[in-house]
């Protein structure tokens, strides 16, 4: 682990890392356990990766915890996930405060069970003064929901005569997304071997580096994050230019 940590250039860290935490169910199956066992163990990875990212000095970490599509799962799994969310937030607030981490959330939170909403809002309020890393949970989130909501907002503003078509540029749109306060992620990590985006941050990852690993989320540890960062730092981000221009 130290070997990878030593290779990380602290001056070239991504300011924002986004993660698609995937593979809890397959991890549980491989251990002969029900899917929920995988989700419970996934919480340990959340704790470890949040701490590792904060220690390194990453500014923002966004974790995909529940997509709008995940409502299609068996009702028992959905309610277990919602219960786990409440438990986890309540039990982790003190650790978040210890690590100076500020909790935030993106997604259609109004559709979450009241108990989950309350736990989330409490967690956000109780960590609001922290000045270190911002940990953003994507909950009942999907990118198309976000973009649709944003366009609706813009249409309302336009109807009310508050804006003019000439006002609309990329920054204007970014300011109206759920992620308005956060920079775009430079790095997107997806675990479990799947190589797709699953409706996550489509606008924001326009120029992100994508990193896929076969490791299931409950097995994802600090060393795996360090490996991803070393890999990221070995890439040349050209943004349309030639190598010579950089």
Does 67 participate in binding Mg ion (rule CB under 5 A)?
no
CA distance linking residue 33 with residue 54, whole number of Å: 32
Chain residues 161-200 in contact with ligand IPE, contact rule CB under 6 A: 192, 194, 196, 198
CA nearest to 131, candidates 165, 97, 166: 97
Does 92 participate in binding Mg ion (rule CB under 5 A)?
no
H and E: helices and strands count for the chain: 8, 6
Biggest CA–CA distance in the chain, Å, is: 59
Residue 97 annotated in active site: no
Does 85 participate in binding ligand IPE (rule CB under 6 A)?
no
Q: How far is the CB of 157 from Mg ion (least distance, A)?
A: 37
Q: How far is the CB of 218 from ligand IPE (least distance, A)?
A: 9
At 136 the three-state DSSP class reads: strand
Does 231 participate in binding ligand IPE (rule CB under 6 A)?
no
Q: Pinpoint the alpha helices (H) of the chain.
A: 2-7, 24-30, 35-56, 75-98, 114-126, 143-159, 170-174, 222-233
Does 14 participate in binding ligand IPE (rule CB under 6 A)?
no
Residue 118 annotated in active site: no
CA angle 187, 196, 148 (to 5 degrees): 85
Does 226 participate in binding ligand IPE (rule CB under 6 A)?
no
The residue among 192 and 204 lying less far from ligand IPE, judged by its C-beta, is 192
CA distance linking residue 56 with residue 76, whole number of Å: 37
Does 119 participate in binding ligand IPE (rule CB under 6 A)?
no
Q: How far is the CB of 132 from ligand IPE (least distance, A)?
A: 24
Does 81 participate in binding ligand IPE (rule CB under 6 A)?
yes
CA distance linking residue 126 with residue 103, whole number of Å: 9
Chain residues 10-49 in contact with Mg ion, contact rule CB under 5 A: 22
The residue among 85 and 96 lying less far from ligand IPE, judged by its C-beta, is 85
Choose, from 9, 22, 100, 128, the residue flagged as catalytic: 22
Residues of this chain that interact with Mg ion (CB under 5 A) are: 22
């Amino acid at each position: 682990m130290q070997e990878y940590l030593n290779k990380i250039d602290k001056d070239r860290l991504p300011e924002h890392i986004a993660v698609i935490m995937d593979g809890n169910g397959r991890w549980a199956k491989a251990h002969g356990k029900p899917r929920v066992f995988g989700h419970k163990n996934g919480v340990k990875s959340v704790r470890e990766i949040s701490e590792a990212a904060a220690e390194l000095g990453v500014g923002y970490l966004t974790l995909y915890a529940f997509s709008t599509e995940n409502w299609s799962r068996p009702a028992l799994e959905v309610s277990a996930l919602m219960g786990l969310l409440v438990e986890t937030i309540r039990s982790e607030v003190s650790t978040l405060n210890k690590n100076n981490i500020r909790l935030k959330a993106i997604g259609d939170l109004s559709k979450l069970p009241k108990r989950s909403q309350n736990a989330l809002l409490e967690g956000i309020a109780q960590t609001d003064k922290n000045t270190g890393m911002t940990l953003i949970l994507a909950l009942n989130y999907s990118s198309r929901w976000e973009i649709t909501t944003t366009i609706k907002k813009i249409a309302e503003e336009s109807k009310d005569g508050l804006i003019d078509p000439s006002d609309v540029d990329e920054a204007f749109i970014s300011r109206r997304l759920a992620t308005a306060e956060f920079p775009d992620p430079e790095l997107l990590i997806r675990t479990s071997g799947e190589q797709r985006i699953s409706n996550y941050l489509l606008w924001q990852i326009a120029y992100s580096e994508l990193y896929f690993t076969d490791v299931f989320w409950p097995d994802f540890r600090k060393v795996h994050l360090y490996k991803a960062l070393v890999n990221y730092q070995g890439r040349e981000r050209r943004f349309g230019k030639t190598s010579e221009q950089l």
